[in-house]
Amino acid sequence: MTTMTDVARAAGVSVMTVSNVLSGRRRVSPETRERVLRAVAELDYQVNLTARNLRYGRSGSIALLVPQFDHAYFGALGARVARAIADLGRQVVIEQTTASPEGELSALSLARLHMYDGAIFSVVGLREAELDRIRDSIPIVLLGEREVPARFDHVMMGNVEGARLAVRHMLDRGSRRVLIAGGQRGQDALGMSRARTLGWLRAHDEVGIQADESLILHMTQLDIAHARRAVAAAVAADPGIDGVFGVTDDVAIGALAGLRDVGRQVPEDVQVVGFDNLEIGAHIYPELTSVDPSSDWIVDNAVRLLQARMGDDPPSEAEHLVSPVRLVERGSTRD
Mind listing the pLDDT tens digit for each residue in 95-120? 888 878 888 887 776 556 677 889 99
Note whether 284 and 298 are same-domain residues.
no
Q: For residue 330, tell me if it sits in a domain.
A: no
Note whether 210 and 266 are same-domain residues.
yes
CATH number at residue 12: 1.10.260.40
Report how many domains make up the chain.
Answer: 3
Note whether 176 and 239 are same-domain residues.
yes
User: In whole numbers, what is the pLDDT of the chain averaged over residues?
Assistant: 89
Note whether 299 and 285 are same-domain residues.
no
Residue 243 pairs in a beta bridge with 178, 271
Q: For residue 89, tell me if it sits in a domain.
A: yes
| Nearest CA-CA partner of 197 in 189, 149, 208, 233 | 189
Note whether 135 and 196 are same-domain residues.
no
- Cα within 13 Å of Cα(311), Cβ side: 14
Domain boundaries, position 277: 159-292
pTM equals 0.79
Which band of pLDDT confidence, cut at 50, 70 and 90, is reported for residue 24?
low
Instruction: Give the whole-angstrom CA distance, residue 53 versus residue 37.
Output: 19
Note whether 251 and 190 are same-domain residues.
yes
Note whether 282 and 321 are same-domain residues.
no
Window from 39-48, 99-108, 176-185, 266-275 with minimum mean pLDDT: 39-48
Contact 327, 169 (CB under 8 A): yes
Report the pLDDT value the prediction gives residue 50, as an integer from 0 to 100: 45
Window from 27-31, 94-98, 302-306 with minimum mean pLDDT: 27-31
CATH number at residue 207: 3.40.50.2300
- Out of 38, 56, 74, pick the residue that ends a domain: 56
